[in-house]
Structure 1
Amino acid sequence: MAPSPLAMLAGWIAEARAHPDIRNADAVALATVDAEGEPDVRMVLARGLDPLRGWITFYTDRGSVKGRALDATGRASLVFHWDALARQVRLGGRVIRAPDADSDAYFASRPRDSRIAAWTSEQSRPVASREALERTFEETARRWGGVDGDEAIPRPEDWGGYVVQAERIELWVERAGRLHDRARWTRSPEAAREGDDRWRVTRLQP
């Protein structure tokens, strides 16, 4: 088995992105636990894989349920599953906030209506109706020169990235007769923080 899972992980993601039957290859289940120990899980889009350091980045409203949980515990787990490829990836570790420069750059790359929506929605908070949400969007759009305008839209202060510094990565491949291939790579928290590509690998029974 390979001494590091990172090249294989990057290759799998590239294959998933190229596959005609996979619509959201970057979709990943994000599991968190809040300050009271309540678990939660939801889908997010992985918007960056550092194949040298083993870090995964995603972006969200930091005032949301997931943002508050991530800030409270600094830990998370992720699962990629591509049924069309018969492959799965599980990983987890420490979570830190992405640098402001990275969050600014990604926010600026988003479609204009998505940037307006980031100012419109207080994610995870109640709203009276769909109509109320749409009215707020229209008001926000006018503030920034309209959906079709060209006025710059800055990143909201409470919107930004999180980086999962993987301490463990498990790769799974479906095989006939349920004799699936499973292997787990682990490294110390210190190595994960430093992006050190030295891992211990163990083959697992399916």
Structure 2
Amino acid sequence: MTTPAIPVIPSALADLRKSYERAELNESASHALPLQQFEQWLQEAISAQVPEPNAMTLATVGSDLRPSTRVVLIKDCDARGIVWYTNYDSRKGRELAGNPFAALQFHWVELERVVRIEGVVERVSDSESDAYFKSRPLDSRIGAWASPQSQVISGRGVLVANAAKYGAQFLLNPPRPPHWGGFLLRPQAWEFWQGRKSRLHDRLHYCQDGDAWVRERLAP
């Protein structure tokens, strides 16, 4: 029996480089409040039509102290923080139930920008989750019932059968599943990264000092 060859990473991979020269980020031109800076950058990402500007990486830590990440979609942001929706019984939901500290990251490659946010997570109210759930397309609402997220299933047929089952049961008005709803991350720290030439990137860090935000520059 022949042992399959192990793919070798091309040596050119180590030579992949990009010079970041699109923009700059300095203290005088940035907002004093991190939420305002985030809203400006998010709107600029939307206006630039970057792919999925609302996509963010969510990092959580389980009871085994091992971190895990996945991509979720921001659905709201206000003075409270950042909101997204998911299955509470999923791995991320279970990990947040045991350890509410989490981190988010937006990476807008085309704009050479990264935003990192760290804070404490809590569930949004049932009324807020209900309102958002009703705004979703019908197939997405059925999907929330059909998918036992993060659980092992025997095949895709399980999802198809579940979708057919709940579609027939609820028709055009599926209620919000009790295991599905919103999370809110209340930021305790923000970082805004702007790529710059020669790897001398701009990094502005905001941290809480009582009710105020302190803005600092970090070395790249």
Correspondence 1:176 to 2:197: yes
Deviation at 1:132, TM superposition (A): 2.4
The answer to whether 1:37 aligns with 2:51 is: no
Q: Which of 45, 51, 55 is 1:23 aligned to?
A: 51
Q: Which has the larger radius of gyration?
A: 2
Match of 1:187, SS? Answer: strand
- Pick from 147, 168, 172: which aligns with 1:121? 147
How big is the alpha-carbon RMSD for the aligned residues of Structure 1 and Structure 2? 1.2
**Match status 1:74 vs 2:100:** yes
Q: Which runs of 4+ in 1 moved over 4 A?
A: none
Cα distance in 2 between the residues matched to 1:172 and 1:143: 48
Which amino acid letter does the alignment assign opposite residue 65 of structure 1?
Answer: R
The size of the alignment, in residue pairs, is 191
Q: For residue 160 of structure 1, what is the aligned residue in structure 2?
A: 181
Which residue, 130, 134, 137 being the options, matches 2:156? 130
User: Aligned partners of 2:89, 2:76: CA distance in 1, in Å?
Assistant: 21
**1:48-63 matches, cutoff 5 A:** 48-50=76-78, 53=79, 55-63=81-89
Q: Which amino acid aligns with 1:133?
A: L
In the alignment, which residue of structure 2 is the partner of 1:12?
Answer: 41
Distance in 1, matches of 2:162 and 2:65, equals 34
**Counterpart Cα distance in 1 of 2:131 and 2:51:** 24
- The alpha carbon displacement at 1:155 in A equals 0.5
User: What CA distance in whole angstroms lies between the structure 2 residues aligned with 1:49 and 1:11?
Assistant: 12
- Whichever residue aligns with residue 15 of structure 1, its letter is E
Q: Does 1:202 align with 2:219?
A: no
CA distance in 1, matches of 2:88, 2:105: 21
CA distance in 1 between partners of 2:35 and 2:193 (Å): 14
Q: Percent identity among equivalent residues?
A: 39
Displacement of 1:129: 1.0
Can you list the C-alpha shifts for 1:96-155, whole angstroms capped at 9, x where unaligned? 11111111111111110000000111100111111222112111111112xxxxx32210
After TM superposition, the score normalised by the length of structure 2 is: 0.84
Alpha-carbon distance in 2 for matches of 1:31, 1:77 = 5
Aligned 8 A contact 1:6 1:54 in 2:
no
| CA contact 1:46–1:58 (8 Å) conserved in 2 | yes
What residue ranges of structure 1 are gaps of 5+ in the alignment? 146-150
